[in-house]
Amino acid sequence: MKLDLKYRHVLPRRTFLRSAAGALIGMPMLDEMRRNSAFGAPEPVPARFVTVFFAHGVTGRWFQTHYGAGPRLAPDPLLPLDGLRSKLGIYSGLHQTESGTHAQSGVQCFTGIAGRGSTSSIRAQGASIDQVVLKNGYAGGRSPSPIQTLAAATYFNTRNYSNERHTWREDGQVAAEPYSEVDVLFKAVMGLAPAPKPPMGSAPVDNKKQIYAKSVLDTAMEEYKHWTSDAAGLSSSSRARLRDHLEEVRSLELRIGQLQADGGGTSAACTLSAPQVTTSRRALEKEGAGSNDRVVDAVMWEKVWQAMADTYAMALSCDIARFGNITFQGAGDHVRFKTAWKYKDQTINFADNGESNHLSYYHNVANDENSSANIGARMHSLYMLAQVEYFLSRLDRIQAENGKTYLEANPVMVSSELGDGGGGHSTRNVLHVISGANGRFKTGQPFMFDTHASNFYNAVLQGLGVNQFMGFSKDAAQRDKVLGQIKA
Amino acid sequence: MKFLECGLVQPFRLVVLGVALATAFAGCTGGINKGRSSDEEDPSNDDQPPPDDDSQPPPFVGEKPVECMQDDQDVPVVPLRRLSADEIMRSVEVALELDELGETLPVGVRAPEGFRNDVQVLLTSQQFVQSIDVWAEKVATKVRSSTKALAGCDAFGDPCEKRFTQELGRRLLRHPLDEGQVSRFQSLFKVAKDQGDDFGMGATLVLRALIASPQFLYRLEPAPENGPARKLDGYELATRLAFLAWGSGPDAELLDAAQKGDLDRAAGLTSQFERLMKHPRAKKGLRTFVSEWLGLDLIADTTRDESDVPLGAELRNDMVQESLQLFEHFLDDRDTPAWELATAPFTFTSRRLAQHSGVGAANASDTFGRVELPDNQPRLGFLTHAGFLMAHAGADIPKVVERGLTIFKTILCQSPAAPGPNVNTALNQRPLGPGVTERMNADARAENGTCRACHSGFDPLAFPFERFDGTGRWVERDGNDNVLRTDGTMLWMGSPDVEEDRPYEGHRDFLRLLSEDVRFRSCLSQKVTQYAWGRGLETQGKDACPVYNIRARAAKNGNSLYALFAAVVEDPQFRMVRAAQ
């Protein structure tokens, strides 16, 4: 399997950055910063919100030992966040205690309320925080980017529908199906990127093709306008669904029109060469394939994730998407690692006792930090958070015009489905991380709470200018108490 | 009782709402059409089914009927449905009278315990809109040279342009276009002409615009919000019929029947449904239903240790074909109840698959053909097909939980409730090895009260299949040289009120018990209904009455696979629509 994610031919609008592969990435102006430049104006709701999910969480005790209450543990799962600590607020003591399974708490993560339904078809009982911000940030709940919600995930367990889905609409439906194959994600993202302006002297674009495409969509739009009107006689929910579709057609039509007007390109071009990598589960599974005890090549999986994270970051930097979720391993996923894996100068030799990380480690975490289960779980959590760090660091390389990075300027939240874990699926002390969101939230320090996670979400919403409750708790006093501690 | 301890769904106990039998039953089954003034006023309803509905027996002997509202509330709400990728492609094939388009759309995800046509997973996104746009352009380019045949002419100008637009529009939008629509789509010919292109290019633009239209991509059935249910018109009925039978839009003949009003009469509706189900396209539709229900699409991608058993693409394809062809056989056999699929003493196989399955390759031909299954070999019915067993084994040494849950949810239509907070679901399984089998770990779970509450519902359903390995082969020992067994005890529901432990000696005994279990028999009908409605069912709630009625109709007609589909159509509520609240 060859890994070669290269970006080529980039025409930046304002600033540039150097990507992981060493090429330049164009960065559109972040209107979040532009809007905040007005003196004295109330801060608008952020224009973007992305969540990052990782599986199995981090036990609350490890948070405490890492941030000072006791000797450091080895391995230390929170190590990867240290490099970005100045740009993150890192929280524990947040509980999502209504959930009893990975599937339920996986949905509760970012929605603040346990999923409902049977184990195989759990759905959300409310919107995830990225969707709440989207709805409040734009008139009609639609952002100007072509992809309203972008979801990507690399995972193995396909039994439970909700385990790798972490962006939900208010009606409990998934906001976007996650792309699980890097090449498919790439095609979707770059298929919606503005085409580069052709070099001077090159052959003109096929303008006739654009005229035809636009005419076809114009005709279809007239049909949508009729069917979304009162005269069509459809129910309001049906009309709302068609209006969503109409907006997508309109967006596509506008882009084609733009292409036509610009003679085939825009100056905000973002171009990537296709990643030569596959996320095929069959390619990554080495033994016990398809089972709950599958052996996965940790090094290769990391490379797949990095290609996915790079592509996702590119979509954000090119303004192809502003909201959504990226997931490393589905909630409750099972894998076994046999291979050694390197994190910076550490070599992690995953012990293999013939069972998955899920069963061997996370469900056997106990008080003895030197037990094989605790050590194994910390190894796996370190691996997970190293992947999170990779994505966050990509966002931290996207520069904005006021000198801030994407990570600094926008809210990016990280969390998981488990807290203390153990055999009872403890969802106490679920780790949460949020970036400074353009100076709104404190960074550079850890916080220990003892409150329901939904109070934290509601505090974040309030801090972002969204005066709305979400999730399990509607307790304004609790929300304000949390906000008082996290607000910069 | 074990089921309720775990919060499991108990369709028969909970669905039966305790009603006065005779009157409620009569009202239930005939309720929606009776007393509807619209029917009385409509002379076209002369040959509506006579009130013999009132004498319709219950689906199972002794089953108490569900209490129905006898009003519009019993008309199932079918939400606005976007066509699935499969439905889009097939509809264009039917409209253009092609067998295969040669251009494919990305297949979407399956709904949990459901189908790809489920409204839950048919999301709208920019990617979807763009992929349709790109796909339609490719299809249009392919058929450009044949548009003359469709139009019967190829000259710019009103007669030819209009004829083409009207006919293609009617086929794709499943309804005659009004003047405004004709004019709107027809104007695309002028766009092509202005660019110096020919009639064929104009025709391709019309085709692309029709494919992008909401009337093509969505099944639009206007109904007043919070208002009463209304009768569907002939074209809407044609659409429902065709999507159920073929997984596509209606063909020209069905649209003609709608235009003539044939579908407004029960006999006309039945006659057209009969025609559709005899057409080869019905097999395509059935394949989608079966493949998605049983998860046969997993067979191609299931990963197994192939060092001893190479699983090439051809063998995997044969595995899929085996199940599809058995179901096709049952669709043609209208005298045999569908539940005999579970005990069918014959299969359809190639020599290659027969060798893998151990059914006597000598009797199989190089090409696919029917093979009888005598008692001295392991196969019996679709649940012992190698592909199904492989797809749901979960590992080279099959997982009891994986297989058990598959049977429990997919074949018996039961739902395991999620464990509550702080319930320890770490199963404490001993690592498999010499002396430790999956069955032993399951037995250990059964000793633990917490585990037993839920696992007793589904673990035992995997026991009879223990000797089928992760590739679906029949083996006596597992990879650790442990002797495997297939005996056990099944919690059996022989009738809605009978629940008892029944021992079985092996998987063949078990399959006979299963085929008599009312949960399985009921599930067959529920799956067809779920597929027809494009959404999950609430058999304990709002869907209790229509689902019961459909089961009762299928029972009345012998419960053949055909009867299960026909029951959906024959139910009076098939002809009604009610808006979502």
Model confidence over B281-306: pLDDT tens digits?
999 999 999 999 999 998 987 878 88
Q: What percent of chain B has pLDDT over 90?
A: 59
Residue of A nearest to B410 (CA): A120
Greater confidence (A240 vs B340) lies with: B340
Which of the residue ranges A268-282, B72-86, B162-176, B205-219 would you say has the lowest mean pLDDT? A268-282
Greater confidence (A376 vs A339) lies with: A376
- The pairing of strands B230-231 and B576-577 is antiparallel
Residue of A nearest to B215 (CA): A223
Q: In this complex, how many residue pairs, one in chain A and one in chain B, have their CB atoms less than 8 Å apart?
A: 211
Which of the residue ranges A229-233, A422-426, B8-12, B514-518 would you say has the lowest mean pLDDT? B8-12
pLDDT tens string B501-553 = 999 999 999 999 999 999 999 999 999 999 999 988 888 888 888 889 899 99
Contacts with B106 from chain A: Cβ below 8 Å: 184
Test mutation, B77, B173, B303, chain A, max A CBs within 10 A: B303
Q: Determine whether the interchain pair B133/A213 forms a contact, defined as Cβ–Cβ distance below 8 Å.
A: yes
pLDDT of A24 strictly over 80: no
Greater confidence (A273 vs B500) lies with: B500
pLDDT tens string B98-127 = 988 888 998 888 888 889 999 888 888 888
Chain A nearest C-alpha distance from B103 (Å): 17
Contacts with B130 from chain A: Cβ below 8 Å: 191-192, 252
Contacts with B140 from chain A: Cβ below 8 Å: none
Q: What is the mean pLDDT of residues B243-270?
A: 96
Which one of B125, B213, B425 has the shortest CB-CB distance to A101?
B425
Q: Determine whether the interchain pair B431/A353 forms a contact, defined as Cβ–Cβ distance below 8 Å.
A: yes
pLDDT of A29 strictly over 50: no
Greater confidence (A76 vs B304) lies with: A76
Which of the residue ranges A334-338, A347-351, B24-28, B478-482 has the most confident prediction, judged by mean pLDDT? Answer: B478-482
Evaluate whether B306 touches B528 at the Cβ level (below 8 Å).
no
Q: What is the mean pLDDT of residues A165-173?
A: 92
The pLDDT, as a whole number, for residue A5 is 34
Q: Band the pLDDT of A183: cuts 50, 70, 90.
A: confident
Q: Band the pLDDT of B28: cuts 50, 70, 90.
A: very low
The pLDDT, as a whole number, for residue A246 is 92
pLDDT tens string A472-482 = 999 999 999 99
Which one of A97, A160, A424 has the shortest CB-CB distance to B423?
A424
Rounded-to-integer distance, Cα B4 and Cα A482, Å: 41
Q: Determine whether the interchain pair B418/A118 forms a contact, defined as Cβ–Cβ distance below 8 Å.
A: yes
The pLDDT, as a whole number, for residue B17 is 33
Q: What is the mean pLDDT of residues B79-91?
A: 94
Helix/strand/coil (H/E/C) assignment for every residue in B362-420: HHCCCCCEEEECCCCCCCCCHHHCHHHHHHCCCCCCCCHHHHHHHHHHHHCCCCCCCCC
- Name the residue type at position A280: S
The pLDDT, as a whole number, for residue B347 is 95
Structural tokens at position B296? 């046969």
The pLDDT, as a whole number, for residue A256 is 77
Q: Determine whether the interchain pair B426/A423 forms a contact, defined as Cβ–Cβ distance below 8 Å.
A: yes
Contacts with A259 from chain B: Cβ below 8 Å: none
Contacts with B409 from chain A: Cβ below 8 Å: 118, 120
pLDDT of B2 strictly over 80: no
Contacts with B80 from chain A: Cβ below 8 Å: 234-235, 237-238, 241-242
CB neighbour class for B55 (10 Å; exposed up to 12, middle 13-18, buried from 19): exposed
Which of the residue ranges A33-37, A286-290, B133-137 would you say has the lowest mean pLDDT? A33-37
Contacts of residue A284, Cβ cutoff 8 Å, sequence gap at least 6: A296, A297, A300, A301, A304
The pLDDT, as a whole number, for residue B40 is 35
Phi and psi dihedrals of A53, rounded to 5? Answer: -110, 140
CB neighbour class for A29 (10 Å; exposed up to 12, middle 13-18, buried from 19): middle
Provide the Cα torsion A464, A468, A472, A476; round to 10°. Answer: 90
Q: Band the pLDDT of B195: cuts 50, 70, 90.
A: very high
The pLDDT, as a whole number, for residue B75 is 78
pLDDT of B44 strictly over 60: no
Q: Determine whether the interchain pair A148/B126 forms a contact, defined as Cβ–Cβ distance below 8 Å.
A: yes
Q: Band the pLDDT of B70: cuts 50, 70, 90.
A: low
Contacts with B197 from chain A: Cβ below 8 Å: 208
Q: Determine whether the interchain pair A252/B130 forms a contact, defined as Cβ–Cβ distance below 8 Å.
A: yes
The pLDDT, as a whole number, for residue B23 is 29
Test mutation, B129, B144, B193, B201, chain A, max A CBs within 10 A: B129
Q: Determine whether the interchain pair A238/B217 forms a contact, defined as Cβ–Cβ distance below 8 Å.
A: no
Residue of A nearest to B390 (CA): A290
Contacts of residue B104, Cβ cutoff 8 Å, sequence gap at least 6: B85, B89
Which one of A223, A237, A238 has the shortest CB-CB distance to B213?
A223
Q: Determine whether the interchain pair A233/B126 forms a contact, defined as Cβ–Cβ distance below 8 Å.
A: no
Q: Mean pLDDT, chain A, as a whole number?
A: 82
pLDDT of A198 strictly over 70: no
Q: Mean pLDDT, chain B, as a whole number?
A: 85
Which of the residue ranges A42-51, A431-440, B488-497, B560-569 would you say has the lowest mean pLDDT? A42-51
Q: Determine whether the interchain pair A100/B580 forms a contact, defined as Cβ–Cβ distance below 8 Å.
A: no
